[in-house]
Structure 1
Amino acid sequence: MGVVVGGIVAVLAIALVWWVVRTYNRLVRLRNQTQASWAQIDVQLKRRHELIPNLVEGARGYAAHERETLEAVVTARGAATDAGLGVVGKAAAEDALTASLGKLIALGEAYPQLKADRHFATLQTELATAEDKIAYARQFYNSAVQSYHTALESFPGNLVSQIGGAHGRREYFEAGAAAQDAPQVRFA
């Protein structure tokens, strides 16, 4: 009888350890997925940032007296490329950049020669593609964060995260009001 009870206790202990390890590994996998998702956003934002100097230079040739608009874009780009920003700070900087880009794209409407410039039109197309990729990456990242938070807050993840040391919550990458009015790219 004592051997049977000892065997049952051993099986339960092994099952408990297996359960804790499996749950912990799931939390690690979800945390890593949020990090990989953020890296994808970063890649797309860098691509967007690389397009901006070319857009500004193209616009500068046609709308040199629109110096304030061009400088606002350059300043916003500089703020958005700050590596020290967290998720919330990065979202705010990108919102400001989006707002200034909207003004730059509007220059194309005000200056027909700029609007007709093929190089500027190509850059606008690339910017629109980059904006779509950023939106997709943002959606994927936020979905990964939601899955991670759900695992952290629900049973058994909440117990295991406390036992194994809190993994910490992640911030959502939310678009502000400026980003919801994304630059409108229109072609002639």
Structure 2
Amino acid sequence: MGDYMGYIIAGAVVLLFIILYNRIVALKQNRNNAFSDIDVQLKQRYNLVPQLVETVKGYASHEKELLEQVTAARTEAMNTKGIGENKSNAEAALGGAMMNLLAVAENYPDLKASDNFNNLQNELSDIENKLAAARRYFNNATSEYNAGIQQFPAVILARLFGYNEEAFFELDAAEAEAVKKAPEISFN
């Protein structure tokens, strides 16, 4: 009878570790899926930038330096992979360049009146809202993952199999400041 009890306890411990390991894998996969959602929104934004640049170029061709800055920032953001400070900085540079482009557009009444420009601006706003939601979801998934690998006894398996805490998708100082300022919207 004692031998069976040992097998039952050993089996229960193995089963517990299997369940915990699968939970860690599921949390990690959920975080990866959440990052994919961010990536989709970023790609949509990257695809919108050339259209916006071309539209502005049609009305404000002498803003060549700004248009080149936006294009360069887009290229840099597209070429920066993964999550981390480099990606955040590249996205912040693109966001800043886009904000400058939209601010300059305010100086061109014909551009502001353009249906194409207004549609692109609305599409950009929609993408930015979806991107913010995707970042929130990603950060929530990251928080759940980090908490999951820090809890006992999962922490043993996490360390044993090399699962480490992951970084959040954070705003840099420029993006955080831009979020604090409410955009001015004019309907005339």
Give the structure-2-normalised TM-score.
Answer: 0.92
Residues 115-130 of structure 1: pairs in structure 2 closer than 5 A: 115-130=112-127
Q: How big is each residue's C-alpha offset from its partner over 1:31-80, in whole Å with a ceiling of 9 and x where there is no partner? A: 01111111111010000010000111111111111112111111110100
Q: CA deviation at 1:146?
A: 0.8
Distance 1:134 1:48 in 2: 9
- The answer to whether the Cα contact below 8 Å between 2:83 and 2:169 also exists between their aligned partners in 1 is no
> What is the aligned counterpart of 2:62 among 60, 65, 72?
65
Counterpart in 2 of 1:153? Answer: 150
Against the structure 1 CA distance between its residues 184 and 82, is the aligned structure 2 distance closer, same or farther, given a 3 Å change threshold?
A: farther
The 3-state SS of whatever aligns with 1:150 is helix
For the residues of structure 2 that align with 1:25 and 1:85, how far apart are their CA atoms?
24
- Supply the distance in 1 between the matched residues of 2:80 and 2:103 (Cα, whole angstroms): 29
| Counterpart-to-counterpart distance in 1, 2:158 and 2:49 | 42
The equivalent position to 1:174 in structure 2, one of 157, 170, 173, is 170
Change (3 A) 1:55 1:17: same
Identity value in percent = 35
SS at match of 1:56: helix
Give the CA deviation at 1:186.
3.3
2:3 aligns to what? 6
What is the letter of the counterpart of residue 92 of structure 1?
A: N
Distance between the aligned counterparts of 1:162 and 1:97, measured in 2?
37
Q: What is the CA-CA distance between 1:128 and the residue it aligns to?
A: 0.2
Moved more, 77-86 or 88-97: 77-86
Partner of 2:185: 186
Residues in 2 aligned to 1:125 and 1:77: alpha-carbon distance in whole angstroms = 19
RMSD (Å), alpha carbons:
1.6
What residue identity is the alignment partner of 2:59? Y
Equivalences, count: 184
Matching residue of 1:136? 133
Q: Distance in 1 between matches of 2:14 and 2:133?
A: 38
What are the Cα deviations for residues 75-108 of structure 1, in whole angstroms up to 9, with x where unaligned?
1101000054543321111111111110111122
3-state SS of the aligned residue for 1:152? helix
Q: CA deviation at 1:156?
A: 1.5
Contact 2:80 2:90 in 1 (8 A): no
Aligned to 1:55: 52
Q: Which residue of 1 aligns with 2:73?
A: 76
Gaps of 5+ in 1: none
Give yes or no for contact 1:33–1:144 (8 Å, CA) kept in 2: yes
Task: State the Cα distance separating 1:187 from its structure 2 match.
Answer: 4.8
TM-score (norm 1): 0.92
* CA distance in 1: counterparts of 2:184 and 2:133, whole angstroms: 18
CA contact (8 A) 1:105 1:184 kept: no
The separation in 2 between residues aligned to 1:152 and 1:168, in whole angstroms, is: 8
